Amino acid sequence: MAGFLSSVRRRLNLNQPTAGDGDPVVEALRAALDPSRVRYDGAERTLLSHDASIFDGGVAGPVCYPLTTAEVQSVMRIAEKHTRNIVPRGAGTGLAGGAIPLGAPIVVAVTRMNNIIEVDVDNRIAWVEPGVVNLDLTRHLMPLGFHFAPDPSSQQVCTIGGNVANNSGGPHCLAYGVTNAHVLAIEVVLPSGEVAMLGGLDAEPAGLDLRGVFIGSEGTLGIATKVAVRITPNAPAVKTMLLSFDTVRNAAHTVSAIIAAGIVPAALEVMDQRITQAVETYVGAGYPTDAGAVLLAEVDGLAESIEIDANRIAEIGREQGAIEVRFAADETERALLWKGRKTAFGAVAQIAPDYYLHDTVVPRSRLADVLDEVSAIAERHDLIVMNVFHAGDGNLHPLLVFDKREPGVIERVHAAGDEILTASLNAGGVLSGEHGVGVEKQKFMDLFFTDDDLAHQNRLRQAFDPGCRTNPGKVIPSGHSCADIAALKRVPREVWA
């Protein structure tokens, strides 16, 4: 992977001059925005050269912090005039390298565009700016009787703009759907600097679903500046339960049996023994540390109906070998159980300082088999693996835990990650559930899509970004992307001929 990123940097770095004081691009940006919101100091560029992934190699150019749609337009027009690349950025919590700036582009950080513009309770819509933090939106809505349904594990810091870019999910998206199901319209600044409204508030907006095209495009089509989200009424009643099993296989079989019984809970989350023990030491959530796996299940709706569903889930769990079934006694216990699940990734720091969190989706019927393969892969590469995942929709999140100071470990981690992806695809799975493709899964796109598929994806991208300057080097693999050709066209032929 390091070699792959180096090749991408070489392709995209060629046309990117080093910018600083006296550079016309920086001067133009500082004239368009308040100079204090255009940064080129080493600390700022280093900070924004990374995201939450384990992928290195990012090199940020000038960093801009716009406050308005008009300022984003100005940045885009300056970039177009000077033939500079652009990388949009939210909180940088992405795990697939999608926000890493390749080739010293202009980084457009929208974190200061963080206003909740309007909440329309009657029509169940909220207009927000892209820098609004996911959990802040839900906290704002809760007193009004609503919440924002997509709830990634990083919801305390991730932004709505980032959720749109990656079509993010979360534990409660089993019943409610991922981000795409909760966005009605998006105001977008295109690479040309034009503003477009994608989607609309009508039940059936006319024309092509360009809103749906933009969601999940990982910043390659433009920059979202306003988002109309669907707000979800708070459920009148909620019941949360914890089922313990001797093995992860039994927990996985229980998940399949619950769905087969016609029950679609709000959430079905599985954690194996290693991560459960780490979480319990970390936050004391009340998880059993002697169980091979735990299943956190939640149902919501009318009190009478959730009682029926919860009892049926308990029955199915026992039929599949559950050694304990426990119901949260009150809201305090429920919140504690969810705190354990939401802080699982932070808890691994007790085991080792670094981790690689993967993201694939497999058919529920293949969960147990693929998890066995994941364990074998980790053992073969002499790595510790912990499993915590959205079991209801087959979204796996194996955690490879390591210390990057150990010689050769990064190579083993990447090799294991590649094998996990391959095993998931061989099981009939897909590349990503919610983290996106970024640079992590880019080289696997050829395995999942035909050349014709990739050609059409590239044509779609060019319809939005003819110059292929927005987040280049991501998603569409080398050899299929217009960004490869565009980068070469912007340097003297003798450099690459």
Q: What is the distance between the alpha carbons of residues 108 and 191, in angstroms, rounded to a whole number?
A: 12
Q: Average pLDDT, whole number, for the chain?
A: 92
Picking from 193, 278, 215, 277, the residue whose alpha carbon sits closest to that of residue 467 is 193
Is pLDDT at 31 greater than 60 in this prediction? yes
**pLDDT at residue number 489:** 41
Query: Within its chain, how far is the Cα of 49 from the centroid?
Result: 18
User: What is the mean pLDDT of the segment spanning 99-104?
Assistant: 94
Residues 268-286 have a mean pLDDT of: 96
Predicted confidence (pLDDT) per residue in 59-80, tens digit: 999 999 999 999 999 999 999 9
Q: Give the alpha-carbon dihedral of 40, 490, 468, 223, to 10 degrees.
A: 20
Cα-atom radius of gyration of the chain, to the nearest Å?
Answer: 23
pLDDT band at 21 (very low <50, low <70, confident <90, very high): low
By C-alpha distance, which of 274, 244, 268, 266 is closest to 256?
Answer: 268
Judged against a pLDDT cut of 60, whether residue 8 lies above it is answered with no
Strand 106-109 and strand 63-64: pairing?
parallel
Q: Which domains does the chain have, with CATH numbers?
A: 2-109 (3.30.43.10), 237-346 (3.30.70.2190), 352-434 (3.30.70.2740)
Q: Give the residue-averaged pLDDT of 203-222.
A: 93
Q: Mean pLDDT, to the nearest integer, of 146-162? A: 96
pLDDT-above-90 percentage for the chain: 89
* Mean pLDDT calculated for residue range 260-267: 96
Query: Which residue has 């691994």 as its token pair?
Result: 348
Which CA distances in Å does 379 have to 351, 356, 372, 412, 444?
Answer: 16, 15, 11, 11, 23
What is d(CA 104, CA 45) in angstroms, rounded to the nearest whole number?
9
170-174, 301-305, 479-483: which has the minimum mean pLDDT?
Answer: 479-483
Give the model's confidence band at 495: pLDDT under 50 very low, under 70 low, under 90 confident, else very high. very low
- Confidence grade of residue 486 (pLDDT, cut at 50, 70, 90): low
pLDDT, tens digit, 9 for 90 and up, residues 227-258: 999 999 999 999 999 999 999 999 999 999 99
Write the pLDDT tens digit of every residue in 37-53: 999 999 999 999 999 99
- Is the pLDDT reported for residue 18 higher than 60? no
Which pLDDT score is estimated for 3? 52
pLDDT in tens, 337-389: 999 999 999 899 999 999 999 999 999 999 999 999 999 999 999 999 999 99
pLDDT at 33: 97
Stretch 477-481: mean pLDDT: 86
Structure confidence at residue 20 (pLDDT): 58
Choose between 22 and 135: higher pLDDT: 135
| 481: confidence class by pLDDT, cuts 50, 70, 90 | confident
Q: Flag whether pLDDT at 492 surpasses 50.
A: no
Share of residues in the chain with pLDDT > 70 (%): 93
pLDDT value at 399 more than 90: yes
Each residue's pLDDT tens digit, 319-335: 999 999 999 999 999 99
The pLDDT score that the predictor gives to residue 57 is: 85
Residue 435 to residue 93: CA distance in whole angstroms: 10
